[in-house]
Amino acid sequence: MDIFRRLKQFYWPDRTYLVGSVLFLILASGITVVYPVVLQLTIDRAIIHHQAQLIPYLSLGFILIMVFKGISSYFSQYWGDMFGVSSVFRLRQALYKKLQYLPYRYYDNAKTGDLMSRLTADVEGFRFFLSAGITQLINFVILVGFSLVLMFYYSWELALVTLAMTPFLCVSVFRFDKQVHPAFRKIRLSLAGMNTRVQENISGMSTIKSLAREKFEIGRFAESNDSYQDRNLITADIWARYFPLMELIGDISVVILLALGGLFVMSGRIAPGELVAFFSLVWYIMDPLMNLGFIINTFSQSKASGERLLQVLDEKEDIQSPSHPIQPDRFTGDVIFKDVSLIYPNEKNPSLQRISFEAKPGSVIGLMGATGSGKSSITQLIGRFYDATSGQVLVDGHSVKEYDLQCLRKNIGFVLQENFLFSSTIRDNIAYGNPDASMEEIILAAKRAEADEFIRELPDGYDTVLGERGMGLSGGQKQRISIARALLINPSILILDDATSAVDMRTEGLIQRAFHELMKGRTTFIIAHRISSLQLADEVLVLQNGFIKERGSHDELIRTDGIYRKIYDIQYKDRAAIQKQKAEEKERA
């Protein structure tokens, strides 16, 4: 019950619905046990004693009982569903909110399909127990309690025999629960794995088709599907073994009671109608006891779901705003790294080692290096997506840890290497970081990013609805919309993470000219592999294995025999040689 205790904050505020449901459930259960009494009176009075005048009254009474039970069952069911639905609404909101504020490190290893499964299947599994499982459990207690009272009234001897048989049924039920709960936990894990496989497949469909790996993917999905099937078959085997056993125990109990009850009727200890009523009550106990397996089943599923939901809710939010944060309206853009080192979670080798530099307001800092050299790590520390392992990252003279997180990040414009566009209009995508922007401001940002021209050529212009992840646009077009989105927030610090990697040379030149004006008065960090993207930089930092190996302006670095110069030679001198060779071949032809 520890899982339900820890999730109490989500369902306890709606306890009024649960109380109402239980009250009507008590009424419906009380009415249910009146059926055998009506049956007993009909047999012993109306039939055996030939009191036919009682039949209309008994029939009318039976109809009224059915009507009242129907009304009570309706309100019990409706309010029970209200309790479950309202509770998981609050739970789902809390989970989604938690996912928004979890740090980057959580998503380094998290799988989209698994998270989707938690927010859908696991939440629904928990809701089903709240809506139906709890009321069924309470109905079990009430119905068994009422039935036992009447059974002792009719024959205390037969009632004791009935009670003597129930422990065998209870042992079977609880052994069933002990095996079925781990089985359901494994089913949830298999379902999450299968959802992850589907999500990755759909997201990577272009790669799959381009490499003709459809059969391979079908095989991988078959493995996940087989695992899910096997887990369900194991659970089905548990059900198949225990439910016939529980039914057999119930049938044996009925046979014993039938033999003893027949002797009691023949000896005159109870009337025939009382025996019929008693047997009706026996099934009011046996059926709920056997149905207890279903209740335990829903309880086990909800426990397995609750465990997975708590794993998300209990995840630590490592990076948070301080209790008394600094919240300036705008930064000047002075960025200082003081002997900064960074080791990512679950990694042994540092990504950054003793990095120190200063980016003065309005300056342009270029970052170059091989993949994994630490370029993106520097920009992630500025936005405080991670915290430095040692050293300090300062913005305007204060540690980034002293600022309100939202304030800090709203003053930083990011154009990431991987562009993400929402399934919405182009206008909404550009204005995502500044939803109050006017249409004129949106168009101006698009023009500066060299995006206005191609947007106006689309069928609905700025109101064109994009497909998932910007489907329908080229890589360069998506990149320019992302640049416009960053520019619209008018950031003090601009971070371009290989922002022109997906555009052609002509478009790159247009964007760079726009950037030349936009970078004035704004501290800019440019991560690039092309030398042409770094020529505007006041200082270029060349990184290798987390260290700054070279630093200086473009002109200074090409005059030295270092990493930067070698890259320059590869990109320019070889290109010039190829162009010269092509020209000579053309002349000879």
pLDDT of res. 569: 83
Q: How far is Cα 558 from Cα 500, in angstroms, rounded to an integer?
A: 22
Residues 339, 289 within the same domain: no
For residues 340 and 357, is the Cβ–Cβ distance under 8 A? Answer: no
For residues 147 and 281, is the Cβ–Cβ distance under 8 A? Answer: yes
pLDDT of res. 502: 57
Helix (H, G, I), strand (E, B) or coil at 398: strand
**Exposed (0-12), middle (13-18) or buried (19+): which is 465, by Cβ within 10 Å?**
exposed
* Domain hosting residue 71, numbered range: 2-313
Q: Show the low-confidence residues of the chain (pLDDT under 50).
A: none
Residues 251, 354 within the same domain: no
Residues 279, 359 within the same domain: no
Q: How far is Cα 75 from Cα 17, in angstroms, rounded to an integer?
A: 10
Best CA proximity match to 182, nearest among 48, 8, 300, 88: 300
CA distance readout (Å), 273 to 31, 40, 59, 262, 269: 19, 4, 16, 12, 12
What is the phi-psi region of residue 342: left when phi exceeds 0, alpha when psi lies from -120 to 50, beta otherwise?
beta
For residues 365 and 379, is the Cβ–Cβ distance under 8 A? Answer: no
**Within-domain flag for 150:** yes
**Within-domain flag for 519:** no
Residues 301, 343 within the same domain: no
CA quadruple 550, 556, 559, 564: dihedral sign: positive
pLDDT of res. 473: 80
For 44, residues 6+ apart whose C-beta sits below 8 A from its C-beta are 271, 272, 273, 274
pLDDT of res. 65: 83
pLDDT of res. 550: 92
Helix (H, G, I), strand (E, B) or coil at 496: strand
pLDDT of res. 146: 86
Helix (H, G, I), strand (E, B) or coil at 552: strand
pLDDT of res. 342: 94
Best CA proximity match to 142, nearest among 247, 62, 253, 22: 22
Residues 184, 298 within the same domain: yes
Helix or strand (DSSP H, E) at 48? none
For residues 3 and 314, is the Cβ–Cβ distance under 8 A? Answer: no
pLDDT digits (tens, 9 = 90+) for 485-540: 888 888 899 988 876 665 666 666 666 666 666 677 789 999 988 787 788 789 99
Residues 119, 219 within the same domain: yes
Q: How many domains does the chain have?
A: 2
Stated length of the chain: 589
**Within-domain flag for 360:** yes
Residues 306, 336 within the same domain: no
Helix (H, G, I), strand (E, B) or coil at 505: helix
Residues 303, 367 within the same domain: no
**Within-domain flag for 516:** no
Taking the model in full, what pTM does it have?
Answer: 0.74
Residues 229, 351 within the same domain: no
**Within-domain flag for 585:** no
pLDDT of res. 120: 82
Residues 93, 235 within the same domain: yes
Buried b vs exposed e over 52-90: b needs ≥16 C-beta within 10 Å? eeeeeebeeeeeebeeebeebbebbbebbbbbbebbbee
CATH number of the domain where residue 118 is located: 1.20.1560.10
